[in-house]
Amino acid sequence: MKRFKTVLGIVIACVLLLSTAAWAAPKFISIATGGTGGAYFPIGAGLADVINKKLTGYNASAEVTGASKINCINVSDGKSDIALVLGDTLSYAYKGEKLGGFAKPLTNLRVIANIYANTIQIVARKDSGVTKLTDLKRPLYHLTIYRWPVVRKLAELRKRPVPKVGVPAEEAT
């Protein structure tokens, strides 16, 4: 919570420094988040609440979106002012990497703050004998679409077929 408050303080300071006139007409700030059931929406709503209560001349709102990829595109296109995104998605967007689903670089994006560390966890059953990635003997399955670029790259590095999402191992190719 302390880190969250520190990050919010930094964001608020940035907004204040970048404002041209605090006494001007209220400036609307769109904060692109994700679905209401995920982590991004409550964080974005909290940020909007702090901005609305502590900064004069701003009206911030957390917007429900399709999360990281859409958020990068929306900020780049000027549809959103601030966005919450995963670091790997931001990297793909900035470089325009097809692996992340970006056709061209979105080089006008900038990082404001790192809110929390994000890791990818790959889980195997205890009785599977899998203790490291190289132990995987069959195609991966039941993978979240949000980490799909990482999984595709892992399959390519292992010289295995790219797995299908959300199907039993017997049906995966």
Q: How far apart are CA 106 and CA 91, in angstroms?
A: 10
76's CB contacts (< 8 A; 6+ apart) are 93, 106, 108, 109
Sorted by where each begins, the domain ranges of the chain are 2-100, 126-171
pLDDT tens-digit series, residues 42-77: 999 999 999 999 999 999 999 999 989 999 999 999
Name the superfamily (CATH) of residues 2-100.
Periplasmic binding protein-like II (3.40.190.10)
pTM score, two decimals? 0.60
Query: Between the CA of residue 134 and those of 108, 159, 164, what are the distances in Å?
Result: 38, 11, 19
Percent share of the chain, pLDDT over 70: 63
Compare 8 and 128 and report the one with higher pLDDT. 128
Name the DSSP letter for residue 101: T
Q: Residue 93: pLDDT band by 50, 70, 90 thresholds?
A: very high
Phi and psi torsions of 31, nearest 5°: -110, 105
Cβ atoms within 10 Å of 83's Cβ, excluding its own = 27
Secondary structure of 12-27 as H, E, C letters: HHHHHHHCCCCCCCCE
Q: Is residue 173 over pLDDT 60?
A: no
Handedness of CA 144, 134, 158, 88 (dihedral sign): positive
